[in-house]
Structure 1
């Protein structure tokens, strides 16, 4: 890993479920691994700017020791391509939005789960319109992906 702090941005649609969850899980897993990494998250949409994480995600994350209460949603800005070392999208729709906004400046956006070493699923499912079980499954997937992220960062 480089001698400087690496910065990773996670991007989902509204920045109230998946990306803040992954940010919190990755932050804790990297801290536990002794890795110096800065994390942030945002959404491609504007609907939830300034709001906290979805209460269902807050509960599911808290059940496993992840605190999402400080989170406030923000929308992706083109300057994020130059402020972060990696811009990682939760699904293909978010990735396409980022690719459209990229315009050749800064880092190229990538899909998160394959970047973290997971071959399946390829996209991080959005639990927003599902039942409470989807939020618990999202936490489990975030933990698997964060473990892959730690392994990749140690290798790089």
Structure 2
């Protein structure tokens, strides 16, 4: 049996939210999960914007205020290999969800794709004040708990 994986977030055009769910997902699984490598969340974008770049500085600061370190994040793009690797693919909003599912041909991969927050979009704080970034951290953090269960020892 293979270890579980999660493509934690498939964001749209904003590098502000992409790495955050990865960090929150790691935190939601707890320290025992991180040490046993039972979950491997990743973030990737459907568009080739900000590839290789770090997270938006305002998101790095907002996440740090909430206890998450995004300084090591670098943007990557969704690929067929990443979709194959993932057990679960979570999309940030309905437009991204639609764009990603339009690219998928196989039913097994399609079954992995879900909206991060059922029925609603994660608010994108891009070009918004600092408070919007903090609010986004809170929303993403709450959503992570819906998708990942703490590891048991």
Give the TM-score taking structure 2 as reference length.
Answer: 0.85
Partner secondary structure for residue 69 of structure 1: coil
Aligned CA distance change for structure 1 residues 82 and 106 (closer, same or farther; 3 Å): farther
- Paired with 1:100 and 1:137, the residues of 2 have a C-alpha distance of 30
Flag structure 1 segments of 5+ consecutive residues without an equivalent: none
- The number of equivalent residue pairs is 145
Flag structure 2 segments of 5+ consecutive residues without an equivalent: none
Aligned CA distance change for structure 1 residues 32 and 149 (closer, same or farther; 3 Å): farther
Cα contact 1:82–1:105 (8 A) shared by 2: no
Higher relative contact order (CA 8 A, sep 6+): 2
Corresponding residue for 1:70?
72
**Aligned-pair RMSD on alpha carbons?**
2.0
The CA deviation string for residues 128-152 of structure 1, in whole angstroms up to 9 with x for no partner, is 132211100011111111222234x
- Paired with 1:30 and 1:150, the residues of 2 have a C-alpha distance of 6
- Paired with 2:14 and 2:95, the residues of 1 have a C-alpha distance of 14
- Paired with 1:27 and 1:34, the residues of 2 have a C-alpha distance of 8
- Within the alignment, does 1:6 sit opposite 2:4 as a pair? yes
- Paired with 2:18 and 2:5, the residues of 1 have a C-alpha distance of 14
The CA deviation string for residues 93-146 of structure 1, in whole angstroms up to 9 with x for no partner, is 1101111110116422211112xxxx6xx1111111322111000111111112
Q: Which runs of 4+ in 1 moved over 6 A?
A: none
